[in-house]
Structure 1
Amino acid sequence: MLRSSLTWRLIAWLIVIQSILSVLALAASLTFWSGPGDKYYFPHLNLEALVAGALVLRPDGMLAISDTPALRQFRQDRPLVRVAAMQDGRMLDGSAPQLAAAMGAMGSPAFINASFTLREGTMAGSAVMATEVATPHGTVVVIGSDNPIRMADLPAIAQFMAGHLLRVMGFVLLSAVLAVPLVVRQTLRPLQAATREAAQVDLRSRDFRLPDHGGVPAELRPLVRSINAALDQLDAGVSQQQRFAAMAAHEMRTPLAILTARIDSLQDLDEADGMRGDIVRIRTMVDQLLFVARLERRDILFDEAVDLVALARNVVAECAPLAISIGRDLALVPEVEILPVTGSVRAIESAVINLVQNATRMEPAGGTVEVVVRAPADILVIDHGPGIPPAEREQVFEPFWRRDEAYPGAGLGLTIVREAAAVHSGSISIEETPGGGATFRLRLAGLTTPHNG
């Protein structure tokens, strides 16, 4: 997941680039912006180590520079270089006589670190580097003259650079690890906000558009505007389809009324009754199509005061005659006395009616469909029929979907239930009834808190 994360890619690349640039800047500063004495300073690091390794304590207790193989090789490779050492203002034995004399002519100055050019004597014009070095024999000032940088000094330079570079890179990496993620996350915050807002776009909020101003980065604005343009086109297309469906359903009412009048004038009553049943089914479908279109367009009132207990009681009373006529019973089970909410009376009532009618068709003969009203804002419609397999629990809400032709209806009732739940910021779910059957739970979220007056 981290590989595909834009945030972590930016963090990793910024840390790597910052580290590389820090190394290159340090190398460039040492190469191109070096000071006048820098070409003597780095070779002197090598000389310090050689002299410190050559120090010995003589029997008389005096410190001296011995002729070690490494120091002897150094003198052979660099015959013009003079080496000396001082401790407590005294020149140590083994120091180069000319350099010792030149330093003595200066009065054996007490210094710690210095780079200078001799002006007098036989070594006039020689560049001298002197540094204080801590050794097992105490602090010693190592002095070298005319010792510019050479290839043999690279190991000493590398050793010095390694320690210095580790300190610099440690600081750079620590700063990058702490600062870069904060900077990247802050920079990407508008993109994350736009992503969260884009996730809210659906057919019920088609008027929503992503912001293309304020904190949105300029590089992202063309993408945001392209998405908004696509949303505009989708909105226009869906609106056109909804208008077409509503107009088509509306226009079908007139020929249906004419057809009903002509059927009523038929002499064959049996044939007329069968055709009336077909007309009722078509009219129901037309009315349901119109209502679904109105729900999708929010073309109904949603600020009405609704008592879910009273609404459920009315629905049960309205649907009871039909249920009894086909050998089923309806039972209202209110778990609260009143359950006030805010919404659309017609939308909620239509949803509950469709749930009750659907449950009545599924309920076995002689059974009872229960309508339970429960806090915080739930209406449960429970049947004891064959139930609905989990694989079909999403399909049943699709328009015109029916399990098979043996079940009557146009396949729009549960679609209305889903749309009614959605426009009230609620949900509709299906659970298995204990002992067999289906329990539809209509939950109306974001409404007035119920009470038990």
Structure 2
Amino acid sequence: MTLARSSLVGRLVVPLIVIQAILSLVATIVSLLVWQQPGDAYAFAQMHIENLSVEALAMQPDGRLVLTDTPALAEFRAARPQVRLAVMQGRQVLDGSSPELAAALRELGFPGFASATLRLTQGTLSGAMVTATLVPTRWGDVIVVSTDNPLQAADMPALIHHMSGYLVRVMTLVLLSTALIVPLVVRQALRPLRAASRQAARIDLRSRDFRLPDGRGVPSELVPLIRAINTALDRLDEGFGRQQRYAAEAAHEMRTPLALLAARIGTVSDPQAAQGLRRDVERMRTLVDQLLFVAWLERGEILPDAPLDLVALARSVVADHAPLAIAQGREIALAPRVDRLPIRGNQRAVESALVNLVQNAMRAEPPGGTIEVVVRGPAEILVVDHGAGIPAAERDRVFEPFWRRDERHPGAGLGLTIVKEAAAAHGGSVSVHDTPGGGATFRLTLAVDAHPDRHAG
């Protein structure tokens, strides 16, 4: 069972949001309970006595609103005998309120506060801490006034219930803000990593000298990884270059013994045996030349910047192969869609690619058939045969070095590899498609700028 890969952004964003939410909640609670301002303890305790007072309000038959002595309120008064409680509606103190506090309020002229915490400096309750809050009830707004009632443990449930709505609003705002801002910050921080990924994707056999940047703008945490990757690329580049040199030198060294062998075949007395040996030597010489050409292409030593005409090049290749095609009972035809197709490329590489495509089509074309070479803009050549075609499962493998469908097919399996490397050297590609009615169509595309003086036919 394989575990699904999670996004690095997700791994960073989710914990940050959770941590931010927890820290915000803790900071809010600490600020309310620890970092209190003078009078906060009385204001927090007021929430409990508010609930008890509202529950104790009752409307009398004569229409008077009074503060009754409910069991909960009686228990509160017994536990805190120093607390005085009064409920006002407008400028009227309700019956059931503390007489001392009611008298003090009358002495003050029923001050117009609604929600406040203050210390009395005159009157019978001079020095008492007074807390007043405006509370909505079903009988209208009332003002609950208490004195000398600091926060105690019994007040915490009422405080938590009262503050829960506030905390929910705060936490919702914090979470929404964090969910919007943190992903943007994290994505911005990961931009160098995405840039390095895009640059790493550009590295291939023709750009092996390219390395990932580890200088300015790259986070220090990524520098060791990038340098390790660059070091690994250096080792791979060195090893691959060494193998290429060995292969090229070995193929080059084989040319001399092959030439000597071809010369000595003339001394063989049996003509039939000599002909067989010449055929084998020629096959070996072709293989050596192809190996050298593939190594030349892979090393990226070609410069696709010389002027050439694709129509003229295709015409030359078709003319060279026409006698061989006729000798094999086939025909080959050029079907240009333009009179001229001047581009900039490498003559030898493009010509070798087209030769290999034509030779491959000649082997596939049934006797009596016609191979078509189509040249069209912007820089594309189609080689069409009407043979058995290539199954979809094998269309990628046909371009692999030394791959052949079976041993009956002649050649070393390097021809289409040369086509692929030549196309890549020109920034293009080669692909295989079905020919209508049966067969295979090879499309060679060269991604180079066309010459501005092209003329359509």
TM range (shorter): over 0.9
Q: Which residue, 208, 211, 217 being the options, matches 1:209?
A: 211
Matched, 1:452 2:456: yes
Q: Which residue, 371, 386, 389 being the options, matches 1:387?
A: 389
- Aligned positions of 1:432-447 closer than 5 A: 432-447=434-449
Q: Determine the structure 2 residue equivalent to 1:374.
A: 376
Q: Determine the structure 2 residue equivalent to 1:163.
A: 165
Deviation by residue 1:266-301 (Cα, 9 ceiling, x = unmatched): 343332222111111111111111111111112223
Q: How far apart are 1:414 and its partner, in Å?
A: 0.8
Q: Determine the structure 2 residue equivalent to 1:150.
A: 152
Distance 1:191 1:451, change over 3 A: farther
Matched, 1:53 2:55: yes
Matched, 1:236 2:238: yes
Letter in structure 1 aligned against 2:305: D
Q: Determine the structure 2 residue equivalent to 1:200.
A: 202
- Aligned positions of 1:284-433 closer than 5 A: 284-433=286-435
Q: How far apart are 1:79 and its partner, in Å?
A: 2.6
Q: Secondary structure at the match of 1:215?
A: coil
Retained in 1: the 8 A contact 2:344–2:448?
no
Distance in 2 (CA, whole Å) between partners of 1:218 and 1:446 is: 40
Distance in 1 (CA, whole Å) between partners of 2:290 and 2:138 is: 100
Q: How far apart are 1:35 and its partner, in Å?
A: 1.9
State the number of aligned residues.
453
Retained in 2: the 8 A contact 1:281–1:409?
yes
Matched, 1:31 2:33: yes
Q: Secondary structure at the match of 1:332?
A: strand
Q: Determine the structure 1 residue equivalent to 2:260.
A: 258
Retained in 2: the 8 A contact 1:2–1:8?
no
Distance in 1 (CA, whole Å) between partners of 2:367 and 2:339 is: 30
Question: 5+ residue gaps in structure 2?
Answer: none
Q: Which residue, 179, 189, 192 being the options, matches 2:191?
A: 189
Distance in 2 (CA, whole Å) between partners of 1:208 and 1:105 is: 90
Deviation by residue 1:3-62 (Cα, 9 ceiling, x = unmatched): 611112222221111111100111111222112322211220121222233334556655
Runs of 4+ in 1 over 6 A off after TM superposition: none
Q: Secondary structure at the match of 1:442?
A: strand
Q: Determine the structure 1 residue equivalent to 2:281.
A: 279
Distance in 2 (CA, whole Å) between partners of 1:68 and 1:277 is: 119
Distance in 1 (CA, whole Å) between partners of 2:413 and 2:237 is: 25
Q: Secondary structure at the match of 1:381?
A: strand
Q: Determine the structure 2 residue equivalent to 1:81.
A: 83
Matched, 1:224 2:205: no
Retained in 1: the 8 A contact 2:255–2:285?
yes
Letter in structure 2 aligned against 1:157: L
Deviates more, 1:412-421 or 1:61-70: 61-70
Deviation by residue 1:342-380 (Cα, 9 ceiling, x = unmatched): 211111110000111111112122221111112222211
Letter in structure 1 aligned against 2:285: R
Letter in structure 2 aligned against 1:315: V
TM-score w.r.t. length of structure 2:
0.93
Deviation by residue 1:55-94 (Cα, 9 ceiling, x = unmatched): 3455665543233343333323333321012333333322
Retained in 2: the 8 A contact 1:3–1:9?
no
Retained in 1: the 8 A contact 2:306–2:345?
yes
Deviates more, 1:347-356 or 1:200-209: 200-209
Question: 5+ residue gaps in structure 1?
Answer: none
Letter in structure 1 aligned against 2:101: L
Deviates more, 1:326-335 or 1:83-92: 83-92
Q: Which residue, 41, 65, 70 being the options, matches 1:68?
A: 70
Distance 1:3 1:228, change over 3 A: closer
Distance in 1 (CA, whole Å) between partners of 2:448 and 2:346 is: 13
Deviates more, 1:89-98 or 1:215-224: 89-98
Give RMSD over aligned pairs.
2.1
Letter in structure 1 aligned against 2:379: A
Deviation by residue 1:129-177 (Cα, 9 ceiling, x = unmatched): 1223333444332111122223332221112221110121121012112
Distance in 1 (CA, whole Å) between partners of 2:260 and 2:339 is: 46
Letter in structure 1 aligned against 2:42: Y
Distance in 1 (CA, whole Å) between partners of 2:367 and 2:180 is: 71
Retained in 2: the 8 A contact 1:82–1:99?
yes
Q: How far apart are 1:121 and its partner, in Å?
A: 6.2
Retained in 1: the 8 A contact 2:343–2:448?
no
Distance in 1 (CA, whole Å) between partners of 2:434 and 2:61 is: 103
Letter in structure 1 aligned against 2:345: G
Letter in structure 1 aligned against 2:431: S
Distance in 1 (CA, whole Å) between partners of 2:355 and 2:50 is: 98
Distance in 2 (CA, whole Å) between partners of 1:136 and 1:437 is: 90
Deviates more, 1:272-281 or 1:65-74: 65-74
Letter in structure 2 aligned against 1:452: A
Letter in structure 2 aligned against 1:434: P
Distance in 2 (CA, whole Å) between partners of 1:324 and 1:160 is: 99
Retained in 1: the 8 A contact 2:205–2:299?
no
Q: How far apart are 1:234 and its partner, in Å?
A: 0.6
Letter in structure 1 aligned against 2:456: N
TM-score w.r.t. length of structure 1:
0.94
Distance in 1 (CA, whole Å) between partners of 2:396 and 2:130 is: 89
Q: How far apart are 1:255 and its partner, in Å?
A: 1.6
Distance in 1 (CA, whole Å) between partners of 2:204 and 2:412 is: 25
Letter in structure 2 aligned against 1:166: V
